[in-house]
């Protein structure tokens, strides 16, 4: 008789570990944190929420510590994924890069064009042109994970590769278009630090501590230079060694990626969602909700992403420049294209950079991102759930 309770206890203890190891877990936690932010921002706790985010600690507000410091770790993980996939993974050859490359190009250009169409009359709001150009890989892959075996593995690989290339484009946009008041002295300090990282890599140093120490110095220089501090995370990742001479040992890149992944997934991104998704809808009028910024963002994500990704994918395959993912139908490719309209993390991040001086526009961005992302998630899931499982010949 005592075995039954023991067996139940064992099953109950396995539930948390099974949840946190699920590919969908990160997206679920991020949704909960973002929903909590929206609830708090529209409750009597709103004032305390805003005071907390503006609280100054060691020269930066809590909001800036999250967006400039913790998100640098997120960008470092993005950089590690990019390097690994380009050198040894799903993007290691030109053939593997072809379809996701065309798809990523269309998935950035068309949403940006739609946003510009709606905001062409305003120089101020045009600064947000890149907001709908990004895909949230955590959310999109989480939705695919919920669909299980109904989605062929090749489509999951296609989405991962597409999102990684999309992230590369977003990082380049942040570095090139969202910088201001450049300090060339601090930029020179950053350049010297990057040179040091290069020397360490070429010298075969495999201990992580020297790289992380140099990365902290690089982050400081970037923070003071006018180039967004999170770019330091990407630059650091590029110099973390991927290959080791002993095949039985994990590479420094693999050790670092595995080490920070749980922290990014279950702490940093939920904190970012909680700090940035809170929008007080009670303070917005119908004109605000239907103004060019939220409409441009929402339609850019929901309409522009699917049109750009599916359109260029279809064109590339038709011209023989790429191949359709194995064992997939065009309807399934379309479903994944719709799913890529989940912009969330990177879209909110770019929105904060674009409209740093206008809280109202930042709130309008949040409305547009939330609306477009929810529509894309629901529509993409429904298409993939009910699409045929095998490609027609």
* pLDDT tens-digit map of 190-221: 999 999 999 999 999 999 999 999 999 999 99
Task: Write the burial class of residue 104 (CB in 10 Å: 0-12 exposed, 13-18 middle, 19+ buried).
Answer: buried
Q: What is the largest CA-CA distance in the chain?
A: 75
DSSP 56-80: EETTEEHHHIIIIIIHHHHHHHHHH
Averaged pLDDT score across all residues of the chain: 87
User: Using one digit for the tens of pLDDT, what is the confidence trace for 114-130?
Assistant: 999 999 988 889 999 99
pLDDT on residue 16: 63
Distance CA(276)–CA(349), nearest Å, equals 8
Within a 10 A sphere around the Cβ of 103, how many other Cβ atoms?
A: 31
> What one-character DSSP code corresponds to residue 120?
T
Chain CA centroid to CA 335, Å:
19
Distance CA(7)–CA(13), nearest Å, equals 10
Q: Bigger pLDDT: 139 or 172?
A: 172
Residue 391 pLDDT exceeds 70: no
CATH of domain 55-384: 1.20.1530.10
Q: Tell me how far CA of residue 366 lies from CA of 296, 298, 369, 370, in angstroms.
A: 12, 10, 5, 6
pTM over 0.85, yes/no? no
- 327-333 mean pLDDT: 90
Task: Name the residue ranges covered by the structural domains of the chain.
Answer: 55-384
């Amino acid at each position: 008789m005592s075995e039954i309770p023991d067996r139940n206890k064992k099953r109950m203890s396995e539930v948390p570990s099974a949840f946190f190891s699920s590919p969908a877990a990160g997206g679920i936690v991020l949704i909960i944190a973002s929903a909590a932010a929206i609830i708090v921002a529209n409750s009597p706790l709103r004032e305390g929420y805003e005071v907390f985010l503006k609280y100054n600690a060691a020269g930066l507000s809590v909001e800036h510590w999250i967006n400039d410091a913790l998100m640098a770790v997120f960008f470092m993980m993005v950089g590690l994924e990019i390097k690994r996939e380009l050198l040894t993974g799903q993007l290691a050859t030109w053939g593997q890069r072809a379809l996701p490359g065309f798809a990523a190009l269309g998935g950035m250009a068309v949403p940006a064009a739609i946003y510009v169409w709606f905001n062409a009359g305003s120089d101020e709001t045009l600064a947000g042109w890149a907001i709908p150009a990004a895909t949230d890989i955590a959310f999109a892959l989480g939705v695919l994970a919920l669909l299980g075996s109904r989605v062929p593995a090749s489509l999951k690989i296609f989405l991962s590769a597409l999102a990684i290339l999309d992230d590369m484009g977003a990082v380049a946009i942040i570095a090139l278009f969202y910088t201001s008041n450049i300090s060339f002295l601090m930029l020179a300090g950053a350049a010297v630090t990057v040179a040091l990282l290069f020397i360490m890599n070429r010298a075969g140093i495999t201990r992580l501590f020297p790289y992380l120490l140099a990365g902290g110095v690089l982050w400081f220089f970037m923070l003071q230079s006018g180039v967004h501090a999170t770019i330091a995370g990407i630059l650091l990742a590029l110099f973390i060694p991927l290959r080791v001479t002993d095949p039985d040992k994990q590479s420094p890149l693999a050790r670092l990626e595995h080490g920070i992944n749980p922290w990014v997934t279950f702490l940093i991104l939920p904190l970012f969602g909680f700090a940035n998704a809170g929008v007080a809808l009670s303070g917005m009028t119908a004109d605000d909700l239907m103004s060019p910024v939220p409409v441009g963002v929402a339609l850019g994500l929901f309409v522009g992403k699917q049109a750009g990704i599916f359109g260029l994918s279809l064109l590339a395959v038709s011209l023989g420049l790429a191949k359709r993912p194995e064992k997939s139908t065009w309807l399934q490719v379309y479903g994944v294209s719709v799913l890529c309209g989940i912009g969330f993390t990177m879209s909110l991040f770019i929105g904060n950079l674009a409209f740093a001086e206008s809280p109202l526009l930042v709130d309008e961005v949040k409305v547009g991102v939330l609306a477009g992302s929810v529509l894309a998630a629901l529509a993409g899931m429904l298409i993939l759930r009910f699409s045929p499982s095998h490609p027609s010949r």
